[in-house]
Structure 1
Amino acid sequence: MFDAVIVGGGPRAVATVLRVVARRPDARIRMAIVDAIDVGAGATWRIDQPAEFLNNTTSGSTTIHADDSTRMTGPIVPGPDLVDWAAAIVDCGEHSTPWVLEEARAVRPGSFPSRRLQGVYFREQLAAAEASGHVELARIQGTAVDVRDDGPDERTVVLADGTELRAPIVVLAQGMVQALPSEETQRFERAARELGLVYIAPGMPAEQDWGKVPAGEDVIVRGLGANFFDVVAVLTAGRGGGFEPVAGDARGRLRYLPSGNEPILHAGSRRGVPYRAKADGWAEASPFVARTANPDWFRALAAAEPESLDFRGDVWPSIAREFAVAYLAALSGWAPHALTVSLPEALAALDDAESVGAIDDVLTASIDQGADDGAHAFTIDSLRRPTRGKQVSPERWRRQVEQLVESELGSMSSPDEHPRAAVNRAMGALRGQAARLAVSGVLEGRSAVTDFEGWFNADGLFLASGPPSGRTREVLALIDAGLLRLTGPETSVSLDVEAGEFVARSAITGIEVRARALIEPRMSKGKVPATDDPLLRALLDSGRARVHARRARDGAAVETDSMEATGASLEEGEPGLNLVRRDGSVDDRVVVLGIPALSTQPGSAIGATPRKPSPLLAGADVAARQIVRLASQQRQS
C-alpha cells in the first residue's frame, strides 16, 4: 500500500514529489511512480535519445522548482534551475555520465540544451527530493492500463503485467499522449510491410528507428512542425554531416558539409513552410506593445456575458490588426521603399478596417506587392496560405522559398527591426492573453473549440513556438545545398501500389515526388478522445472519465481534445484538478495534471520558467496538498 501512485514519470511527477517535500509531511510519504520509458525524465526527455534533439525553450527558461511568482498554498523551497544545476556540474568537473559534463559546459541562459540533458536534470531533482528523507519512492517501469475504484478511500493502478499498486490517491501525469493510428496510417504501415517500403509513422521522435531511412535516396516528409527539425537533424548532422559559417555573412548563414549518408528530403504540409524560428536572443528582444489589443482590452472582453463572444468575429480581427500594424511599422524602417503610402496613412486605414478581409485589403494597398520580386508582400491570409491559395509554377515557388530563406535569416539576426520577427513577437505576446480569455468562459463553445483551440492555437505554434535559431539556420543551409526541397502548400501523400511508391503532390505548385520512403514527423498533441493510451481509454470507455465539452450557442455540447477535471481552489485542504466521471460526479481520489486536461488547465503543457507563474507547478502543488492530507488522515485512522 502506497500513500500515492503517480502515473507518468516526467516533469509533472517530479514537480509533485518536490511539492510534497516542500510541505514537510509529518512522516515519510511512500509514493510509486510508473512510467513506460524513464521515471524522472519521462518520454519527452528520456536520456537515451540523440543529442541532436533539442529543447525549443532556453536553458534560462527552465526550472522544476517553484518560486513566489506562482500562486500556491504550499511553502516555497528554493532549488536549482537548469542553468544553476549545469554550472554546479561544471564546477565539480565530473559526472557519472561523461556526456552530461560535456553538454553542461555549453549551457548558458540563452542556449537551447538537448532534451536528454534536461531529462538528467529532472532525474537528479527527483533523486534530491528522495534524499531529503520526506518521501520514499518506488520507481516502476511499466504501462498502466486501468485505475480501479476499490471503495471510497482506495484506488488501484493496474499495470499491463498484472501488477497492482494500491493507494488512497492516484495522480495522472502522463504528459503528451499518442493517438490511435488512423486508417491511412494503418494502410501505409501495411503497404510498407508488403511492398518493402520505409514508413516512419507519427509518434515521438525519440522512439523511432531512424537507421532504416535510406541514404542517398529521395525521401518524402509530410509535416513541417516542431518534430520536423528533429528529423532533419538526426538524418544530417546525426549521420556525420557538418555545418560551417558562410564567410562574410553577418546574418549567420551556414553551409552544409555532407557526409554522403544523408537522404534527399522532399518536405511539404498544408502551409508548405516550416515553423518560424525563434530569433537570436529572442528572450531579450524588445517587448511587443499592442496598439489596441492591450491588457485592458482583453480584460474588458473577459467581463462579457458567459459564452457571448465569437472568437473569429469578436477577437481575431483585433489580434490580426496588431499583426498588420507590427508588420507595417517594421517595414517602414526595414524597406521603406516597399510602402506605397505613409505609415500614418496606413495605420489610419487599419483603424477603420473591421474585418480580417478589410485588413488584408489595407495591407495589399499599402505595400508594393512587386517590390524586390514580391519579397515584402504580406497579408494575414498569407500566414496560413503563403500563396493566398493561388497556384504558382514550380519555378515561382522556388523563388518564394529563396525569399523565405532570406527573410528567416533577417528575422533571426535582426529581431527588433525585421517585419517577419515583428509579427512573430506580436503573436508571442497576444496568444497567452487570448488563452486567458478562453478560460474566462466568455467564448461561445463551438468557437472556443473550433477557432481558438483549433486554427488559432496552430497559428500560435507556427509563429511563436518555433525552433532555436541555430536549428533553423541548419535547415536553411540544407535548402541551399539542395538536400531539403519544399514541395509546396497543400501537399498530400498517396500510395501507388503498382509502382510500390509513396507519392507526394502539392495542389498549389504541382510539384510531384515519388519515393520508397515516407516520414511523418508529427504527434497527436495530446488529443484525448482519439488516444491509444490504455489507461485513458479504460477510464473513458467505462464512464469513469469523460471528455470535456463546451456549450455551443445552439445548445449542443462541443467536445474538446481533453479530459474533464475540476478547477483548483487556493484554499488549503480543498481538493482540485480531480477527474470528472461521465455522469458528472467527481472522483476526489484521482487527480489529473496537465496535457490530458489541457482545456481546463490552460498553460499546463508549458514547462516552468523561473520568476514566471507556472500552471504546471501550481497544479503539482494542488496534487501534493491532497497527497499529504490523505496520508495524514490514513495514519490517524
Structure 2
Amino acid sequence: MKVLDHPALDLSPTRLPAGQPVIVRGMGSGFSRLLTVLTEGRGGTFSRDRHGGVTYLPAGAEPVILVGSGRGVPCRAATRYPLAAGPVPVPRFAVPEALPRVTSRWRRDVWPLVAKDLTYAYYHELLAGHPERARVGWAEFAEAYAAEEWSSVAMRALIRRAVPRFADRLNLARLDRPLDGIKFGDPAGLQRWMHGYLDADITRRTDPAGSADLALAHAARALRDSLGDTHGDPWLDGFAHFTADGPPPAWLAELQSLAAAGVVVFLGANLQVRPDGNGMWRAAGTTLPGGVQAHVALDTRGIVEKQEEYR
C-alpha cells in the first residue's frame, strides 16, 4: 500500500505537530514519500556544496521522525555503473533438477543452493572483472567452487585463498541483516553507526570497484524469477528487493543529513510497535535498550492510530 494514497492518512501539522515525535515502521519507498511530505513539504530545504555534501536546513515545522524496521536499515542504494565482467551467470546450482519437487523446509532444502548461486555471481564479477584483487583466475576458482558444498570448510578456505582482502569477501548474513547481534547502550551510538553504514553504502554503490554488488543484485532477481511459485520464498523476495530495488545514492545522503539535523532518529532492527494502554504507541527493537513512545505511529504500508490493530 502506498502510504500517501491511504484514505485515512493525515500528515497535517495539527495531527503531527512540529517537534513532536512520530513513530515510523518501515524504511522502503513509502518511507521516502513520507519524508518528503514531513520535511520539504513543510518548508525544509537541502543544501549541496561543491563536493557533493548535503545539509538539511529545517524550517522548524517538522516532527521528530523515529524510524526503524525489520532490518533497521534502508534498501541498498541503486548502482551507477555497469558490470565489468559482462552478463551475470545464469543460476547454476538452484535449478529444477537439483531441487526437491516439493519441500516444506526451504531453508534446509533450497537456501544452500540459492546462496551458492548468489555467491557464485558475486565472485564471477569480482574475479573476472577485477582480477587484480584475486590470487587465482576465475576459471580455476569456478571449477573448485562448483565441487564444494555451500559454506563448507573447504569452500570458505577456497574463498580466503582466492580473495586476499577481507572487505572483498561476501558475507551474505551480514549483508542481509547488518544489525543482527549488534546492541548499543544509547541512541547516540546507533546514530553514529548508521551514519557510517550509509556513508559506506553510498561510496560502494557509486564506485565501479564495487560492481560485484551489482552482480549479486542481478543474481537475486534472476533466482527470484526462476524459482517463482514452485521454490520461491519470502526471504528471497525480500532479499532481491533489498539489494536490487533501492533508492538513488542521493536520497541516502539526504537521509543522513536529516539525521544530522535531528529530524530523523534511527531506532534499529526488529522494531515492534504496540499500543501502551494509555492512548499512546510504544516502539522497541533489539538494537537499543528500552523503547520510545508517541501519540502517532505510521507504517509505510498504511497508518495506525490509538488502539487500532498494528499491521
- What is the TM-score of this pair, normalised by structure 1? 0.39
Q: How far did residue 482 of structure 1 move?
A: 3.1
Corresponding residue for residue 556 of structure 1: none
Corresponding residue for residue 293 of structure 1: 91
1:508 aligns with 2:303: no
1:213 aligns with 2:6: no
| Structure 1: unaligned runs, 5 residues or longer | 1-177, 179-202, 525-637
Identity of aligned residues (%): 27
Corresponding residue for residue 114 of structure 2: 319
What is the CA–CA distance in structure 2 between the aligned matches of 1:335 and 1:248, rounded to whole Å? 28
8 Å contact from structure 1 (residues 220, 515) kept in 2? yes
In structure 2, relative to structure 1, the CA distance for the partners of 1:424 and 1:397 (3 Å cut) is farther
In structure 2, relative to structure 1, the CA distance for the partners of 1:430 and 1:515 (3 Å cut) is same
What is the CA–CA distance in structure 2 between the aligned matches of 1:348 and 1:463, rounded to whole Å? 27
Task: Tell me how large the CA RMSD over aligned residues is.
Answer: 4.2
Q: How many residues align?
A: 295
Which among 54, 60, 69 is matched to residue 260 of structure 1?
60
What is the CA–CA distance in structure 2 between the aligned matches of 1:397 and 1:309, rounded to whole Å? 37
Instruction: Note the alpha carbon deviations across 1:29-85, whole angstroms, 9 max, x for none.
Output: xxxxxxxxxxxxxxxxxxxxxxxxxxxxxxxxxxxxxxxxxxxxxxxxxxxxxxxxx
Q: Secondary structure at the match of 1:417?
A: helix
8 Å contact from structure 1 (residues 239, 261) kept in 2? yes
What is the CA–CA distance in structure 1 between the aligned matches of 2:120 and 2:205, rounded to whole Å? 20
What is the CA–CA distance in structure 2 between the aligned matches of 1:278 and 1:417, rounded to whole Å? 12
Q: How far did residue 520 of structure 1 move?
A: 0.9
Residue 231 of structure 1 aligns to which amino acid in structure 2?
A: L
Q: Secondary structure at the match of 2:27?
A: coil
Q: How far did residue 504 of structure 1 move?
A: 1.5
Residue 261 of structure 1 aligns to which amino acid in structure 2?
A: A
Which among 294, 300, 303 is matched to residue 521 of structure 1?
300
Corresponding residue for residue 50 of structure 2: 247
Residue 210 of structure 1 aligns to which amino acid in structure 2?
A: L
What is the CA–CA distance in structure 2 between the aligned matches of 1:376 and 1:510, rounded to whole Å? 33
What is the CA–CA distance in structure 2 between the aligned matches of 1:215 and 1:309, rounded to whole Å? 49
Residue 431 of structure 1 aligns to which amino acid in structure 2?
A: R
What is the CA–CA distance in structure 2 between the aligned matches of 1:512 and 1:214, rounded to whole Å? 21
Corresponding residue for residue 307 of structure 2: none
Residue 240 of structure 2 aligns to which amino acid in structure 1?
A: G
Report 1 or 2 for greater relative contact order, CA contacts < 8 Å, sequence distance ≥ 6.
2
Where do residues 460-539 of structure 1 align in structure 2 (5 Å cutoff)?
460-498=240-278, 500-510=279-289, 512-522=291-301
Corresponding residue for residue 431 of structure 1: 224
What is the CA–CA distance in structure 2 between the aligned matches of 1:474 and 1:516, rounded to whole Å? 26
- What is the TM-score of this pair, normalised by structure 2? 0.73
What is the CA–CA distance in structure 1 between the aligned matches of 2:211 and 2:116, rounded to whole Å? 18
In structure 2, relative to structure 1, the CA distance for the partners of 1:473 and 1:418 (3 Å cut) is farther
| Structure 2: unaligned runs, 5 residues or longer | 304-311
Corresponding residue for residue 177 of structure 2: 385
1:272 aligns with 2:64: no
1:400 aligns with 2:179: no
Corresponding residue for residue 150 of structure 2: 355
Q: How far did residue 290 of structure 1 move?
A: 3.8
Where do residues 336-355 of structure 1 align in structure 2 (5 Å cutoff)?
342=135, 350-351=145-146, 353-355=148-150
Q: Secondary structure at the match of 1:519?
A: strand
What is the CA–CA distance in structure 1 between the aligned matches of 2:168 and 2:155, rounded to whole Å? 14
8 Å contact from structure 1 (residues 272, 490) kept in 2? yes
